[in-house]
């Protein structure tokens, strides 16, 4: 997996991504107007539809090539980078970048990650088709398909700091006790979480009984 950049060094510079990709200050320019709620809802629904279609196509191809786990591993690394690097997130989501610029930048990231050929082909295809904006949602949809195939349940975990292997194992144990199935975790770090840990299963937050069981883990993360 791609190592984190040194403190104070941008991702593009740290990983040798061509400087041309960093251009276009227009990406930071204010929009002409704020979208209406209805427009935002339509955009969200459109992105979700795109994500499901592309994730399904990739999952089927990964099944054929016996690369489901490999792609999942690559996606975990990409998701971490997108969460941690505003520069990379802007490259992926800002419409001012051309398909060529996006392909150039993503190809550099994927090479440094030593991503599998299928992962690389897929992400660069997204860039070519101007669908890279849906990458995060595609990753999440792909992980749901992997979890369903294995009889697992998907859980999104936000933590104030990275979870240790022991904490991850403990969290999986608690979720299995409550839900009756193994949990496939998708984690991200959010330092603003004063409670230390937030878990979302499917489309709902954890219920009160599960929240009680997690209090010990939360207290440990807060150092109490």
pLDDT of residue 29: 35
What is the reported pLDDT for 49?
82
Helices (H), 66-207: 68-84, 86-93, 99-113, 117-128, 135-149, 165-179
Contact present, 187 and 160 (Cβ < 8 Å): no
- Highest mean predicted confidence (pLDDT) among 12-21, 74-83, 119-128: 119-128
> Is 173's pLDDT higher than 70?
yes
Q: Between 7 and 86, where is the model more confident? A: 86
Q: How far apart are CA 18 and CA 104, in angstroms?
A: 8
Pick the more confident residue, 48 or 188.
188
**Phi and psi of 78, rounded to 5°?**
-65, -45
**Which residues, at least 6 apart from 61, have a Cβ–Cβ distance to it below 8 Å?**
118
190-212, pLDDT tens digit by residue? 878 766 678 888 666 664 445 56
Determine contact, residues 161/192, Cβ cutoff 8 Å: no
Question: What local confidence, expressed as pLDDT, does residue 220 receive?
Answer: 64
pLDDT at 26 over 60: no
Q: What is the mean pLDDT of residues 54-69?
A: 95
Mean pLDDT check: name the lowest of 52-56, 145-149, 161-165: 161-165
Highest mean pLDDT out of 127-131, 160-164, 200-204, 206-210: 127-131
Give the residue from 219, 199, 221, 220 showing the smallest Cα distance to 210.
Answer: 199
- Residue ranges of domains in the chain, CATH in brackets: 41-146 (1.10.520.20), 151-221 (3.40.30)
10, 110, 128 from 189: Cα distances, Å: 19, 22, 30
Q: How many H-runs (helices) and E-runs (strands) does the chain carry?
A: 9, 4
Q: Which residues pair with residue 184 across a beta bridge? A: 154
The more confidently predicted of residues 155 and 89 is 89
């Amino acid at each position: 997996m791609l190592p984190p950049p040194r403190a104070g060094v941008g991702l593009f510079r740290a990983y040798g991504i061509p400087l041309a990709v960093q251009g276009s200050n227009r990406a930071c320019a204010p929009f002409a107007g704020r979208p209406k709620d209805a427009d935002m809802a339509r955009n969200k629904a459109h992105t979700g539809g795109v994500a499901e279609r592309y994730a399904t196509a990739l999952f089927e191809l990964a099944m054929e090539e016996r690369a489901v786990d490999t792609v999942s591993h690559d996606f975990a690394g990409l998701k971490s980078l997108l969460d941690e690097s505003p520069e990379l997130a802007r490259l992926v989501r800002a419409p001012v970048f051309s398909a060529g610029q996006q392909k150039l930048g993503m190809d550099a990231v994927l090479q440094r990650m030593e991503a599998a050929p299928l992962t690389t082909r897929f992400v660069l295809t997204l860039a070519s088709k101007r669908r890279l904006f849906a990458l995060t949602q595609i990753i999440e949809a792909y992980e749901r398909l992997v979890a369903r195939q294995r009889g697992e349940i998907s859980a999104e975990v936000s933590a104030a700091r990275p979870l240790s292997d022991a904490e991850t194992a403990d969290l999986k144990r608690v979720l299995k006790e409550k839900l009756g199935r193994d949990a496939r975790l998708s984690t991200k770090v959010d330092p603003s979480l004063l409670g230390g840990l937030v878990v979302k299963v499917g489309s709902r937050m954890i219920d009160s009984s599960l929240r009680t069981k997690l209090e010990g883990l939360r207290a440990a993360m807060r150092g109490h």
